[in-house]
Amino acid sequence: MRSIALVSVLVGFACGHPPGPNGNSPKGTPTEAKPKGEFPKGPPLVSPGERMQYRVSLKGIELASYVIAVGEVVDLEGRKAITVQGNAKLAGLAAWFGGKVDDKLTSWIDVETGRSRRFQVDEYGSKSTDIEHTVAEIAKREGNVIPVTFHINEDPPQPEPQKAALPETWCLNAFLVALRSWEGPPGTVVNLEVFRSRNLWKMTVTIKGKTKLVTELGELPALRFDAHVVKLDREGGKFPDTDERDFSLWVSDDAGRVPLQINAKTDYGDVTMAIVDYQAGNGEPLRK
């Protein structure tokens, strides 16, 4: 049960359905040329103290909660960065049977560029009480190599350098924040490489278009994005024996641009991560 919950919580990167019988992308994956976009540079669209809470459910059954909390601006090795943390915990029936889960994904996002500087993940190992620690020093990238360390519990950190192919590398939180300020006509595509945890994922995100979404906060105008992701190995190639996966994400189509919902199809059934509470920050957004 724990693995189902974490697959759900971690924003669709571990969700999805396998390729078709010939090993290609799932049926319906766009192949025609699309207008290319890019995430805008500038301060991230967050406010210190901002907080978003989500319910993760499988076939309507609650499995977990996921909270995104924006911290304060701090000094990180001479650069100003704001902390953004995702926190996953089991809930509902899963909390009774799923064991211990209190996983934290912490990002330091540059307040001038909105780009990832550091990404740290502290999470329980599958079916284990061991805590796995990963740190990706994205701002210290040299050429196509990003310094990454990994260790379990109090063991000494071990280097696991990651090769990247694209000029920029993102982490999960910085990706979600950047999505809040991304604009473009329907069909616009951006290609990214994003750290979810210990691994890097190749991602193609497409602007689907404007719609309305019914949430626990009411019916809201929304902008939908569709994404296709592939897990990468340390050399930047496709991770062996892994599926290519898809998910959809909705952001409120208003000044707040709040992430509202993520849907993904898995081998277990449809998974939804839906907003249940939003608290504005205690100051002005960094991005005007």
For residue range 95-115, list pLDDT tens digits in order.
Answer: 555 566 789 999 999 999 999
Question: Residue 84 falls within a domain, yes or no?
Answer: yes
In sequence order, what are the residues at sequence separation of 6 or more whose Cβ sits closer than 8 angstroms to the Cβ of residue 104?
85, 86, 87, 120, 121, 122, 123
Residues making up the chain, counted from first to last: 288
Q: Could you tell me if 121 and 198 are in contact, meaning their C-beta atoms sit under 8 angstroms apart? A: yes
Question: Residue 141 falls within a domain, yes or no?
Answer: yes
What's the pLDDT score for residue 13? 42
Residue 78, CB-side half-sphere exposure with 13 Å CA sphere: 2
Q: Could you tell me if 62 and 92 are in contact, meaning their C-beta atoms sit under 8 angstroms apart? A: yes
Q: Return the structure tokens found at 278.
A: 């939003």
What's the pLDDT score for residue 112? 96
Of all residues in the chain, what percent carry a pLDDT higher than 90? 67
What's the pLDDT score for residue 26? 39
Task: Give the whole-angstrom CA distance, residue 258 versus residue 54.
Answer: 12
Question: Residue 26 falls within a domain, yes or no?
Answer: no
% helix / strand / coil in the chain, to the nearest 5? 10, 50, 45
Question: Residue 4 falls within a domain, yes or no?
Answer: no
CATH of the domain at 97: 2.40.360
Q: Is 11 helix (H, G, I), strand (E, B) or coil?
A: coil
Q: Could you tell me if 175 and 193 are in contact, meaning their C-beta atoms sit under 8 angstroms apart? A: no
What's the pLDDT score for residue 116? 96
Q: Return the structure tokens found at 155.
A: 């063991």
Q: Could you tell me if 238 and 212 are in contact, meaning their C-beta atoms sit under 8 angstroms apart? A: no
CA dihedral sign, ordered 248, 252, 257, 259: negative
Question: Residue 58 falls within a domain, yes or no?
Answer: yes
The domain total for the chain is: 1
Kindly report the pTM of this predicted structure. 0.86
Question: Residue 2 falls within a domain, yes or no?
Answer: no
Q: Return the structure tokens found at 197.
A: 């945890």
Question: Residue 169 falls within a domain, yes or no?
Answer: yes
Could you list the residue range(s) of the whole structural domain that residue 165 is in? 33-279
Q: Which of 110, 106, 100 is nearest to 86 (CA)?
A: 106
Question: Residue 21 falls within a domain, yes or no?
Answer: no
What's the pLDDT score for residue 12? 41
Q: Extract the residue ranges of the chain whose pLDDT is less than 50.
A: 1-31
Task: Give the whole-angstrom CA distance, residue 198 versus residue 232.
Answer: 10
Give the tens place of pLDDT for each residue, 49-85: 999 999 999 888 888 899 999 999 999 999 999 999 9
